[in-house]
Amino acid sequence: MTDTMIRWEQDEDGIVVLTMDDPTGSVNVLNAVFAASLDAAVARLEAERETVTGVILTSAKRSFFAGADLTVLRRTAPDRAAELARASDHLKGLLRRLETLGRPVVAAVNGAAIGGGLEVALACHHRIALDAAGSRIGLPEVTLGLLPGAGGLTRTVRMLGLHEALSSVVLTGRLFTPPQALAKGLVDEVAESAGDMFLRAREWIARTPGAAQPWDVEGYRIPGGAATSRTFNHSVVVPFSATVRNRGRGTKMDAPHHILAAAVEGTQVDIDTALAIETRYLAELACGQISSNMIKAFHFDTEHIANGGSRPEGFPAHRVRRAVVLGAGMMGAGIAYVCAAAGIDVVLKDIDGAAAERGKAYSRKILDRAVSRGQLTEDGRAAVLDRITPTDRAEDAAGADLVIEAVFEDAGLKKQVFAEIEPYLAPDAVLASNTSTLPITGLAEGVRRPEDFVGLHFFSPVDKMALLEIIVGEKTSDATLARAFDLARQIGKTPIVVGDSRGFFTSRVISTFLNEALSLIAEGAAPASVEQAGMQAGYPTAPLALFDELNMKLAQHVRRETQAAYAAEGRTLPHQAAYDVIDRMVEWGRPGRLEGAGFHDYADGERVRLWPGLADAFPADDPPVPFADMQERMLFAEALESVRCLDEGVLRSVPDANVGSILGIGFPAWTGGVLQYVNQYEGGPAGFVARAHELAARYGERFTPPASLVARAERGEVYE
């Protein structure tokens, strides 16, 4: 065969092995090369059908198939919807011809089959997955603002039923290990070796010469039924509609709605019409702005970071062997856990030995839960716990090549614990602080080797939050930065690299969001409206609820530290209306969830309702702030502060800004991140600048766009 991607090999039994091997990259993707190659392969199978007893589709790559070519999808626009629909329908037609060939077709899934890769496998009559390390199988399109549009939505609904397909696979975007995929019904068998996989495939072909897809067999019914009866609609469709609506919370996230609509409509028609319906909804999503935003953030920007875009070149890869964590509170305990889980020996030190033991118990709780869910063996649990040594003795840190300080946000205390531990460390150990606000350059004055000092800002809860913000001080060496970057990879975190300033990037920017919400309260906005504005803008947690989690006493402490730092420099920290709200809430004994009372009332630690007295404490605004202005005041405050961070060198790259804002501080995912939000605003940066001037005129000069942004807009440039 002469095509450029699919090799044809036929054995003496008549079984054809089609091996996908894209010459243009390290993985197979859905692109024009694949479509042309599949077209040629299917045409030959049809022409030589009488000599073919079965087909095995597999890959020469380490993975089976990686999905769609996102470079193409990123460039889509509304005027390309028809073009995309034609390409999608053409590919689906090829897959339909393959599954209706009249010969058994087996997918030998030798590695990851993600998105379009799984969709190709679903068009085969039987799927055998190799239980390879790191292999994942699933349909994650919803996480990119898309739906599985190469037949994946239609086929999973027909395989699993509407409820199971949507609730377990498509709407979650979850990726499964091969055994998990088997349990879900996405694959039919799991093989332990490549040889076993191909042997099973040949045996299945021999046993099933007349294989056909269930939906092509007369009398087939979708599991659970189709959405054609009143009972089905009330028991399945209506609850799903409510779930999708609640999940979207009024944001611009259209993918869940379109997935549900395409799935429900598809159950009421034949397979080919259902595939056409799927295409229609895919084209609308793929040619819209939201999917472009999310593809940029979750693929291209994330790939830039993962490929070391912010890591200094010329330094060998580094792995930490032994780490010391100073402070066994929630942050320190979480840091100890992720390090130990990554195979690092950890000394968890606290001034109190009992506190250190409690810190280790945090890991035990996480591990016990993993064992109970079947995600970890007892031996695996014991191995992680054995790597954590709780102590109150500094000398137990002997020989460690990393120390991470995670004590209270007090510069004097942080310098004190470093001075105590530094003599026991390896001579070239990385010295790191988990501070979320204090400048790294100042903290580095308390150690002997400031060139080895760096900020490692983790996010709570550490075991769940993916981001690690690496802060570079004035004297931090490139070698230290490279080692910090490698640590992030070692413990499975996504690292962004930022310059030094008070609050760095994430804490500095999220404070503008929170302060804007409190400014609205100070102006008399209805608290429920403020919460709804944040949620419907796409923030994962409403602003007042988030402030309760962070605690207003801590906010006061950070502000006083900042005021003192400003005073030392001969400056005055500008006053904000939010400060008055915080001070009054603390004065009233309502500093947050930790003390059982904040902007919300709490019972047994659970949020119950907004505090009724809040509305009485701050008289209602007249006229009220428009709801759209509430939303955009929060969004614009963060975007504008991010531009200032970029101007000041606190941000070093646009990908770091976008990914860091989504993973670290909950900037709405539909935007693609803080700087992509500027790019995608109606009218682009110029439209954003015009709207910023409107907000500045109404609500204050803090919304005045920086000169650099104005100049960028005038040049017609975006943030890349």
3-state class (DSSP) for residue 382: helix
Task: State phi, psi for 54 to the nearest 5 degrees.
Answer: 180, 170
Question: Of 545, 548, 525, nearest to 615 (Cα)?
Answer: 525
Cross-strand partners of 430 = 402
Start-to-end CA span in the chain (Å): 42
Unique residue bearing structure tokens 């793929």: 286
Q: Which residues are catalytic?
A: 457
* Strand bridging mode 453-458 / 105-109: unpaired
Q: Let me know the angle formed at the C-alpha of 638 by 559 and 514, rounded to the nearest 5 degrees.
A: 45
- Is-contact 494 464, C-beta < 8 A? no
Please state, as a whole number, how many other Cβ atoms lie within 10 Å of the Cβ of residue 622: 6
CB atoms within 10 A of CB 238: 11
DSSP state of 625: P
CA angle 72, 74, 79 (to 5 degrees): 85
Dihedral angle at the C-alpha atoms of 90, 96, 100, 101, nearest 10 degrees? 50
Could you write out the DSSP letters of every residue in 562-585?
Answer: HHHHHHHTT--PPP-HHHHHHHHH
Coil, strand or helix: which one is 329?
coil
Q: Output DSSP code: residue 500.
A: -
173: three-class secondary structure by DSSP = coil
Classify residue 137 as left (phi > 0), alpha (psi -120 to 50) or beta.
beta
* C-alpha closest to that of 127 among 60, 176, 200, 177: 200
